[in-house]
Amino acid sequence: MRRAKEITKKIIRELRITGPFNIQFIAKDNRLQVIECNLRASRSFPFVSKVTGYNFIDIATRAALGEDVSGNYRTVELDFVAVKSPQFSYGRIKGADPTSRVEMASTGEVACFGDSYSEALLKSMLAAGFRLPKKNILVSIGKDESKLKLLPSLELLRDMRFKLYATENTADFLQARGIPCEKVYKINTAKKLDVTSLLANGKLDLIINIPTHPHQGESTEGFKIRRKAIDLNIPLITNRQLAEAFVTALAEQKGNGLKAKAWSEYRT
């Protein structure tokens, strides 16, 4: 965070930026690279103003008019967390693959506050229309690398006593590592329990479907599962990092409840 701030300061000095701008970083192994910088106010502008308590639109306007707005702004060292969750319209777009891409595809966002990251994340997801699972979860993970990285999260789901269903390869992976699950076979097979019948019985509370190669088209098994999840209004997670964060948050908040607090209570 400190290096991101220093890089940003150097860029705005060099480009002589006074008003609002949107800068995006990519970070891997603690190495930062700037991927874009735009002279515009993004949707993060009001979000950051609300979170930090500073009206940055007012500050930017006064700066553009030549006023001295320098000061010691406390924008990162906060005692709470705020999370923005996107809202999508996959249910209204027939046949769309409900997986996130590089471009912005959300039709809106919901921001929520919490005393911890897990609390803020769950609040924001619930506010965006997500439902927390109660009992039954279907897991379908493509890459072996993703399976291994999600293993601790799947162990947490086991420890929280969720009933796990898994597609064939994922089930073999989990059972080999001591995680009990019920194997579910491909759509429209002659096997006793296939994905179609499982989805149709209305008992699934959540589907975690991490595709190997997203956006491959409508013929893949993964696409059919994701699309049926949307059509049947079953909560769906298609991103590994979000799946990890969600399961961790679920475990941390289990039994604690989510506190309803006014915005002003986080600002005191």
Quick one: average pLDDT of 59-66? 91
* Residue 101 clears pLDDT 90, i.e. is over it: no
* Residue 103 clears pLDDT 70, i.e. is over it: no
**Domains by residue range for the chain, with CATH:** 2-64 (no CATH), 133-253 (3.40.50.1380)
Q: How many CB atoms lie within 10 A of CB 51?
A: 21
pLDDT of residue 220: 75
What residues are paired with 139 via a beta bridge? 166, 208
* Residue 102 clears pLDDT 60, i.e. is over it: no
Per the CB < 8 A criterion, the answer to whether 194 and 187 are in contact is yes
Please report the beta strands in 19-135, taking only residues with DSSP state E, as ranges in sequence order.
22-28, 31-38, 81-87, 108-114
pLDDT of residue 230: 80
The angle subtended at Cα 203 by Cα 202 and Cα 206, nearest 5°, is: 100
Q: What is the pLDDT of residues 116-142, one digit of tens each?
A: 999 999 999 999 889 999 999 999 998
pLDDT of residue 174: 94
pLDDT of residue 99: 65
C-alpha 236/C-alpha 256 separation (Å) is 24
